[in-house]
Amino acid sequence: MKIMTALAILGTLGLTAALPNAEPHPVAPTPQEVRIFNTVKVKLASGEQVVGGTVATPDPEIYCAVANAGFDFTWIEMQHSPLSYTDVARMIWACRDAPAIPFIRVPDATEGDIQKATDIGALGIIIPMVDDLQKVRDAVTFAKYPPMGKRSQGGGQYRAIWGADYRAAANDNIMIVAMIESPAGVEIAREVAATPGVDVVFAASSDLGSFTGLRQGDADYEALVTTIRDETLSAGRSLGGPLAWMGDREGYSFFQGPSATSLIRTGARVALEAADPCRNLPAGVAPVEGADPCADR
């Protein structure tokens, strides 16, 4: 009885491990490190800039061309296109090993849109028209598994693309991009940027002009853009904008690049210019008949 009492006292004091044959306290397991496979997130965290090529056509070959062209991510455009989730699922699957990470601009921040987008393998969810704080909060909730959100665990091709540990790693890899496109959105820029789960706040240059009637360079327009920039960077979030802003606006690190059709036009122009044997000679002088057609130009 005395021995049992002593053991009880020592156990209360946490000293039973010092006694012979005493059971040691269990050691808490070391938390398993979460695998990060979203290279866009890694690059932004290291201070790099990232650019996405925009795709709005269902052709998997065009998607693959963009996804393998050197972009950091693909901006799959579902807000302003007739693309269906079946189309996009096929596109992502066709180039599941491409280096560009699939981001989808969903039609709206609904539970159904975000559930489908994540199930087919998107690691970036771009939320358009953020002019209400609840909208961006809901987007985070729908994109994240419990306990952070309430995304349901259904079927999809996400596991086949990203690996068997997808469920455990998804919350740390899926990114939320909040697009501010109107003065109402600018008014809540601070709260949007401070929302847990938001990774990027994007200044939508064209729509800011459309909603205000102002042009880039106007003082009032620039004041709106400056507010978005300052609030985003103050909150420690990445700042997004059009690719044209990469060179002359500080603080931006996430850019929407050209559309697939624009890239085709540019590629055609470059190819045609490269095929012109006189491209490096001055124009305006007719070649001498019978001579090298470029010799006198």
User: Is residue 98 predicted with pLDDT exceeding 60?
Assistant: yes
In a domain, 29, yes or no: no
Whether 280 is in a domain gets the answer no
Reported pTM: 0.82
93 domain-assigned: yes
Q: Tens digit of pLDDT for each residue in 137-174?
A: 999 999 999 999 999 998 899 999 999 999 999 999 99
Whether residue 30 has pLDDT greater than 50: no
Average pLDDT of the residues in 218-228: 97
In a domain, 146, yes or no: yes
Q: Look at residue 5 and tell me whether its pLDDT is greater than 70.
A: no
Supply the range of the domain harboring residue 224: 39-273
How high does pLDDT run on average in the chain? 88
Q: How large is the average pLDDT for residues 91-116?
A: 98
Provide the pLDDT for residue 267: 87
* Residue carrying the six token digits 């729509």: 207
Residue 90 has pLDDT above 80, yes or no: yes
Domain assignment of residue 80, yes or no: yes
Q: Is residue 9 part of a domain?
A: no
Domains contained in the chain, number: 1
For residue 225, is it within any domain? Answer: yes
Residue 12 included in any domain: no
What is the domain-level CATH number for residue 248? Answer: 3.20.20.60
pLDDT band at 199 (very low <50, low <70, confident <90, very high): very high
